[in-house]
Structure 1
Amino acid sequence: MRALGEFLRNRRTRLVRAELDLPPVGRGRTTGLRREEVAFLSGVSVTWYTWLEQGRDINPSREVLDAIARTLRLSGAEHAYVVSLAGYTAPPPPAAPVPEAAPRHVQRLLDALAQSPAYAVAPDWQITGWNAAYAALYPNVATVPAQDRNLLWLVFTDPYVRQLLPDWEVTSRRFLAEFRAEAGPRLGEFGYLIDRLLAASDHFRAGWESLGVERFASRERLFRHPVAGELLLEHHQLTPQDHPGLHLVVYTPVREADTATLRRLLAAPPVSIERTEENA
């Protein structure tokens, strides 16, 4: 508990009193709270809070630590650090709005993965950004209407995707199980997408009714491109720390031949595809 006590004492002495509507103390000192002030504002006894700062072997509850974190105006990272020192799970980060387009630094990261098809998806699997390699693998991503640029929608309704995936029956079911697992308690927020897919795809309806749930795992994926032929790529998923609502999906070549094929694909003229929605 010593590290916890030292951290709380450090943050207590750095607070600006005016920001908490407190007057200066002593010889006009404008920073730092007294221990009794922190204790009062946090709803704990002065003795108990003093022991906490002294690093004594006491067991503060999660609720008390949360109250002290609010009093000390701790940031989200500082709050998580405090509760972790006491052995508790860090609080979830506050929900932030997911941008309609990938932030610039995320798009730059996607572009830097020049030889690896990569894209970013929001919690509802709306595709918010992609790189040139992904557009070469799946040209429709750049031309599909924005409201349809959703990974789950495209997997179940775009005939090109079905041709691109020789194991489409298995892959589409797995994608659906992973979507359910990722959505978790937020699944109700995505009713608009589920309703559209239930009406558009018999295969989606059958998969949805099976209630499959499966966590994502990196794995090899086989693609059959109409120009490049077969590509064996490894499927990875990353989450930016500063945008936890986004997932970056990256496909890396497994074999040297796949690397060469991707290079040729990037150098080739774009594939011309006439896209039609079908009941998948």
Structure 2
Amino acid sequence: MPETPLGAFLRARRARLAPADAGLPASGRRRTPGLRREEVAARAGISADYYARLEQGRQRVPTGPVLDGLAEALQLTAAERGYLHRLAARPHRPAPPPAEAPALPPTTLALLDTLDAAPAFVTGPTFDLLAWNRPAALLLAGPERRPARERNLLWQVFCCPYRDRSQGNTAAEGSIGADLVASLRAQHADRPRDRALLALVHRLSADSPVFAELWDRHRAAPPRPGRLHVRHPALAATVLDYTVLPLPEDGRHLFAFLAPPDSPTRHAFAAAGRDRPRTATAPR
């Protein structure tokens, strides 16, 4: 039977937990990492056979209490718990019809313009770049001049020639790359047949083994503030703090980056922000 998204998620999260994490004594060498199925089942209060059927896609939708028990057993975060519930309900929920994304409100574009010394941009559900100010155009090395497939924040982090080649942006925990991949998972639990998402995941997995590995971890979480490691021929800073704000439109976020005060990079961004036009939007 083919693997289901729910089964893949359960298996990946089970593999992440060591016996000590679950308060279990070590019991000799294990053939595979993580907890055994029967250990998760016991902690969740279900039978080992029932849990095996869930992982193997042979079990119908589990009840809410069963899902909550699994979330406790696998030590899921609040975002991952919600993701688990959406995955379980997804097979019985009709896929929404594709809808054209609304244009960005003028107030959002005006907000980008006010950040004239800080790179800022707006992303869509698959982290395509929808609009950016002039400092962000400098940071992203001119997204308006590149093809649509490269106007994407995930592409910038995992595939751009100017990307930082250390693990600062793509480490398995606490990096902008790991957080973006987790957010991609969390946002699309209800859209298994989203062609844009599937095409993006396939392309990035082919171009970046690091992205493929992070995607297979099945971590789910919303975007959060962090640090961007910069490798850029026109900028002196090596690390930029950033914050991310959800926008009212579904799946859209505003990212804003801050260079160290009175640094050459901050002055470079401010100079770029004085240019006109300030805000650019991606071509439709």
TM-score for both structures, normalised by structure 1: 0.52
Among residues 160, 163, 166, which one is paired with 1:161 in the alignment? Answer: 163
1:223 aligns with 2:230: yes
* Mapped contact 1:231–1:261 kept (Cα < 8 A): no
Aligned to 1:54: none
- Using the TM superposition, give the Cα deviation of residue 98 of structure 1 relative to its aligned residue in structure 2, in angstroms: 1.9
Helix, strand or coil for the counterpart of 1:234? strand
Higher RCO (C-alpha 8 Å, min separation 6): 2
- Using the TM superposition, give the Cα deviation of residue 169 of structure 1 relative to its aligned residue in structure 2, in angstroms: 2.9
- Using the TM superposition, give the Cα deviation of residue 246 of structure 1 relative to its aligned residue in structure 2, in angstroms: 1.9
The alignment yields a C-alpha RMSD, in angstroms, of 2.8
In 1, Cα distance between equivalents of 2:116 and 2:152: 22
* Mapped contact 2:164–2:229 kept (Cα < 8 A): no
Q: More helix by proportion, 1 or 2?
A: 1
For the pair shown, the structure with the greater C-alpha radius of gyration is 1
Among residues 170, 190, 212, which one is paired with 2:219 in the alignment? Answer: 212
Among residues 174, 182, 187, which one is paired with 1:182 in the alignment? Answer: 187
- Using the TM superposition, give the Cα deviation of residue 184 of structure 1 relative to its aligned residue in structure 2, in angstroms: 3.0
* Mapped contact 1:136–1:266 kept (Cα < 8 A): no
Helix, strand or coil for the counterpart of 2:230? strand
Given residue 267 of structure 2, which amino acid in structure 1 is its aligned partner? Answer: R
- Using the TM superposition, give the Cα deviation of residue 161 of structure 1 relative to its aligned residue in structure 2, in angstroms: 2.2
* Mapped contact 2:116–2:133 kept (Cα < 8 A): yes
- Residue correspondences, number: 170
Aligned to 2:206: 199
TM-score for both structures, normalised by structure 2: 0.52
In 1, Cα distance between equivalents of 2:158 and 2:227: 20
Aligned to 1:136: 138
* Mapped contact 1:173–1:207 kept (Cα < 8 A): yes
* Mapped contact 1:123–1:245 kept (Cα < 8 A): yes
Given residue 243 of structure 2, which amino acid in structure 1 is its aligned partner? Answer: H
In 2, Cα distance between equivalents of 1:251 and 1:265: 10
Q: Taking every aligned residue pair, what percent have the same amino acid on both sides?
A: 28
Aligned to 2:93: none
Aligned to 1:264: 268
Q: Which runs of 5+ in 2 are unaligned?
A: 1-97, 273-284
1:247 aligns with 2:247: no
* Mapped contact 2:135–2:270 kept (Cα < 8 A): yes
* Mapped contact 1:228–1:265 kept (Cα < 8 A): no
In 2, Cα distance between equivalents of 1:231 and 1:199: 28
* Mapped contact 2:122–2:131 kept (Cα < 8 A): yes
Q: Which runs of 5+ in 1 are unaligned?
A: 1-94, 269-280
* Mapped contact 2:118–2:269 kept (Cα < 8 A): no
